């Protein structure tokens, strides 16, 4: 997914949506939109499977077996061999000065030949580049095998990546200060957007402050993940942020670029348990607006609470903003969709054998009507499940631009080896209630209104798509 903007949490690297205001965000191409099935998650325990067998060898065997038997399309084993060799070759050249050239291997399609070939390649690299740890080489090999399929959603996750994914999908309860960070694409400044109710905003950090230094370490030129690591830490400890405050836009209501004043402050923030809500909600001119950042385990409850609170205040219409929402859990998409669809199918997943699993509405409809859903080209995966179901059921009017087009589902296979990694494998494709396959096609909204996708426009007076949503709701009242 090639996108110009992406938000990172300063408390964890996660796939979060961009937020409104002047805090520009830098999207990371390596992070793909995700829909993770809650149901087929497996734990592969090496001890139970093979007793005292070498865990590195077993990791390669497990990856091979899961890809061959679980991937949603037939697998060409040569792609796994080529992917392993390519990844190891790049790693050896980056980490070692041996100049060892990995000989090309040829798969036959039989496990008795291909598995020893994959394992022997790692052993040969360790022999010719003895300074490289076998465990790390094995992880590189497995990551290469998965990458060899050319599927950006089928990957090997390290323990750190699993922790970040878990934090995101569980709503983000972990230690930190509670800010989104990103880079202004014009100035390169690292800017922040503090999250309500968390330590940073309580300490005085303002939306769109530019971070100059963290604990006296300048951040200019540093990647966002390094800045995140400087900011992050255990609860009860203090981090000193040196910031420049943003000067207000001289023409309110226009899409002004960030301009920083000369006012510099050092703010001491005491780290604590942070909760990152997936929902931002407000009432404006009688319309309920809910922006959903991802599809995590708490998302449906948060959307439900926000819309019911608005309904109790006499909301005239409802807007669900799924723009820049890259997805999350499949179950969360079903739960959110069930708030608006009283019965019938929400989504159907289809595995390699053609077996279909139909997920139906769960009878939790809240009567939030009329409803408009905002989408754009970064509305992906679980977001598309919900958008497609609501469109097929005529439960909402979709406004914006064509969605991303990710119509496949991944399963996580946790591995209890010493590295505690996981295999994320595409195991099924999905179709909408009317049988639409959106992979590489996306969903065309009912009303197409184009506008830039950068964060500062969303939920501002310059947001033409949001204005159109309000116009549609107003018209329906007449």
Whether 377 sits among the annotated catalytic residues: the reply is no
- Contact (Cβ atoms closer than 8 angstroms) between residue 273 and residue 175: yes
How many beta carbons lie within 10 A of that of residue 221, not counting itself?
8
| Exposed / middle / buried, residue 271 (Cβ in 10 Å: 0-12, 13-18, 19+) | buried
Whether 343 sits among the annotated catalytic residues: the reply is no
Instruction: Single out the catalytic residue among 392, 393, 459, 463.
Output: 392
Angle at which helices 55-70 and 111-128 pack, to 10 degrees?
Answer: 140
Instruction: Single out the catalytic residue among 183, 244, 406, 424.
Output: 406
Instruction: Show Cβ contacts of residue 461 under 8 Å, excluding neighbours closer than 6 positions.
Output: 253, 254
Closest among 350, 351, 325, 324 to 336, alpha carbons compared? 325
How many beta carbons lie within 10 A of that of residue 6, not counting itself?
25
Instruction: Single out the catalytic residue among 70, 288, 299, 381.
Output: 381
- Kindly state the greatest CA–CA separation across the chain: 77
Task: Please state, in angstroms and rounded to a whole number, the distance separating the CA atoms of residues 33 and 153.
Answer: 8
b/e burial code for range 399-418 (CB count within 10 A of at least 16 → b): bbbbbbbbbbbbbbbbbebe
Whether 392 sits among the annotated catalytic residues: the reply is yes
* Helix-strand-coil split of the chain, %, nearest 5: 30, 25, 45
Task: Please state, in angstroms and rounded to a whole number, the distance separating the CA atoms of residues 85 and 83.
Answer: 5
Task: Please state, in angstroms and rounded to a whole number, the distance separating the CA atoms of residues 326 and 332.
Answer: 13
Given phi > 0 = left and psi -120 to 50 = alpha, else beta, which region is 275? beta
Q: Would you please indicate which residues are annotated as catalytic (active-site) residues?
A: 381, 392, 406
């Amino acid at each position: 997914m090639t996108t110009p903007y992406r938000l990172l949490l300063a408390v964890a690297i996660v796939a979060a949506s961009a937020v409104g205001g002047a805090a520009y965000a830098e999207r990371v191409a390596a992070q793909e939109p995700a829909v993770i099935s809650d149901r087929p998650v497996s734990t592969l325990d090496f001890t139970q499977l093979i007793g005292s067998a070498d865990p590195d060898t077993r990791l390669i065997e497990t990856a091979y077996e899961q890809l061959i038997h679980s991937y949603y399309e037939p697998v060409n084993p040569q792609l796994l061999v080529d992917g392993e060799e390519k990844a190891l070759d790049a790693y050896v050249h980056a980490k070692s000065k041996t100049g060892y050239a990995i000989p090309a291997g040829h798969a036959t399609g039989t496990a008795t030949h291909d598995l020893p070939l994959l394992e022997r390649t790692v052993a040969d690299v360790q022999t010719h580049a003895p300074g490289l740890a076998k465990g790390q080489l094995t992880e590189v090999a497995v990551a290469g095998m998965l990458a060899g399929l050319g599927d950006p959603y089928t990957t090997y996750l390290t323990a750190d990546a699993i922790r970040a994914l878990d934090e995101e999908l569980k709503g983000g309860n972990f230690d930190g200060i509670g800010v989104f960070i990103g880079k202004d694409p014009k100035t390169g400044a690292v800017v922040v957007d503090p999250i309500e109710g968390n330590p940073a905003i309580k300490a005085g950090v303002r939306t769109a402050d530019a971070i100059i230094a963290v604990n006296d370490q300048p951040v200019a030129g540093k990647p966002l993940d390094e800045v995140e690591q400087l900011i992050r830490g255990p609860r009860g400890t203090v981090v000193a942020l040196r910031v420049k405050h943003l000067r207000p836009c001289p023409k309110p209501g226009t899409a002004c670029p960030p301009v920083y004043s000369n006012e510099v402050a050092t703010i001491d923030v005491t780290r604590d348990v942070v909760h990152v809500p997936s929902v931002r909600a407000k009432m404006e001119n009688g319309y309920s607006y809910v922006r959903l950042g991802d599809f995590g385990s708490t998302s449906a409850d948060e959307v439900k609470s926000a819309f019911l609170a608005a309904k109790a205040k006499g909301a005239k219409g409802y807007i669900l903003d799924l723009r820049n929402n890259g997805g999350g859990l499949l179950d969360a998409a079903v739960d959110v969709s069930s708030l608006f669809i009283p019965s019938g199918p929400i989504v159907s997943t289809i595995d390699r054998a053609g077996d279909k699993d139909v997920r139906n509405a769960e009878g939790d409809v809240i009567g939030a009507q009329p409803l408009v859903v905002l989408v754009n080209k970064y509305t992906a995966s679980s977001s598309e499940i919900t958008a497609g179901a609501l469109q097929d059921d005529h439960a909402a009017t979709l406004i914006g631009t064509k969605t991303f087009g990710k119509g496949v589902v991944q399963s996580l296979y946790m591995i209890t080896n010493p590295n505690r990694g996981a295999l994320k494998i595409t195991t099924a494709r999905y179709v909408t209630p009317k049988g639409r396959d959106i992979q590489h096609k996306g969903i065309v909204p009912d009303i197409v209104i184009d506008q830039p996708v950068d964060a500062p426009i969303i939920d501002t007076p310059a947001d033409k798509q949001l204005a159109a949503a309000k116009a549609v709701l107003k018209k329906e009242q007449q």
